[in-house]
Each structure stands twice: as C-alpha cells, then as structure tokens.
Amino acid sequence: MDLKIKGKVFLISGGAKGIGAAISNVLSEEGAIPVMIDPSIAEGKEMLQKWKSEGTQGAQFEKRLSNTEDAKDAVMFALEKFGQIDGIVNNAGANDSIGLENGDPHKFRASVEKNLGHYYDLVHFALPQLKKSKGSIVNISSKTALTGQGNTSGYTAAKGAQLSLTREWAVELLPYGIRVNAVIPAEVMTPLYSNWIKTFEDPEKKLAEIENRIPLEKRMTTAREIADTVVFLLSARSSHTTGQLLFVDGGYTHLDRAIGT
C-alpha cells in the first residue's frame, strides 16, 4: 500500500531511540523525511548514515525539548533544511516515578511540565506550516493514563492530559483539515523499559509475569507495531480519522486478562 507520504517532512520528538526510533525508521522506509528531535547523537548518526546508504533523507535536531525555545528552534531547523512540515509525532517523555508519597508538589509540577509542555510547544510553533500542508499530529501517550500504575503521579497526569489535548486539538484544528490522533502503548521493550525491568531482583521472572498478563500472544508489543500504526495515522490513507485514541497493546488495557490464563 502506498501511504502517499514520500517527500513529506515529519518531526519526531525522541526520534532516535525506542519507539521514536522505530517511527523514524518506518517513515524513512516509506520515503518520508524524518526529523529526529533527540540529543542521542550516536544513535541518530547511525540512523542517518543508514538512511543515506538507502537513498533517503533525514535530519537530527540534537537537543531535548527542555524549554519552549528549544521547540521553536526545532521547527526552524526543519524549515531551514527542508522548507516544510507535514506532521508532528509527540513522543518524548520519561516515567520518572514522582508519586504522591515519594514526591512533593515541586517535583510533581516539574514532572508534568517535562512530559507535557513540549507537546504543546512543538505543535504551537509548527502550526502555520501544518495549516499549509493540512498535516497530521500523533500524540504518544501511555496505558498508565487510564489504568494507573502507582508512584508516578506526574507522568500519568501528563499522559492523561495528552489524551485530552488530542481531542481538544482535533476540534480546534478541524477548519484547517489537520487531523490529530493518539496512540496508547502498554508494554513495549524500549531502552527505558529495559532499565526499569533490571531494577527488580529477578528481571527475567518479572518480565515473564508481565508478558503472561498480555492477552494477545502473551508477548510484549514491539516498537515496530507501534510505529506502523503511527505512520498510518500520519498518512493520507487515514484521511478521515481524527480525535481517536488507538490502543496498540495486545488487548492489555481493555480485555479481561483472565481469559488467557
């Protein structure tokens, strides 16, 4: 299937590692131009070299979106290099374990800002270009926004807000033909997830317990499976889909996990 995104430019926050890297790679495979917003220089360089060898383009803005000016600079970087922006993938974030008992009001606010503010900033500064291209926005959230997890109030508050903004922006941007959707992963093996698993006394046992609770095939979702859905939503092949919250999680969030036991 031709996704009709060849030559189109997409910004991906956190685009050089984990789910973000998978999204960037699938975009490149489809002939699009990924712009990775990510301070992971070595990983980004390797991806850019691979794309060049395959005859495709891409770029890396080597910063984390720590403040509003970083987002503005990332947009200007993409425009100076490629002259257009056709879509945004808001993906960067970290489950920083700022809970109710183990945190404090200042850490909570900092956690929400770190995981939420740049979603707004990047879209805000890219909006004039998205209006021209009738672009598409995909927000990556988390199952924790709906299920809770415990001891991560800041992260889950931000993830829930991302879902709310998805619906809000879908309404606000209707007049411009800009579509806005969210993808909600559950258990995906990324570098951050791997580091979390390693904190347990018996990581292999903990991983097996988690996989056994995933209804479809008793396995983790792959980053590629998340990426395929995201890229479809970015493409013209999903031209009448907006304001949707898509769960790519093997049924983890909504199916009764007792059915597979």
The catalytic residues are 155
Structure tokens at 209: 């317990």
**Continuous segment of H or E residues that includes residue 70:** helix 68-82
Q: How many CB atoms lie within 10 A of CB 39?
A: 18
- Per-residue HEC secondary structure of 143-193 comes to CHHHHCCCCCHHHHHHHHHHHHHHHHHHHHCHHHCCEEEEEEECCECCHHH
Strand partners for 221: 188
Residue 79: its H or E element: helix 68-82
Spatial distance between the Cα atoms of 33 and 86, rounded to a whole number of angstroms: 10
Q: How far apart are the first and last CA of the chain?
A: 37
Where would I find the beta strands (DSSP E) of the chain? 9-13, 33-37, 59-61, 87-90, 136-140, 179-185, 245-248
Owner of token pair 């993409």: 78
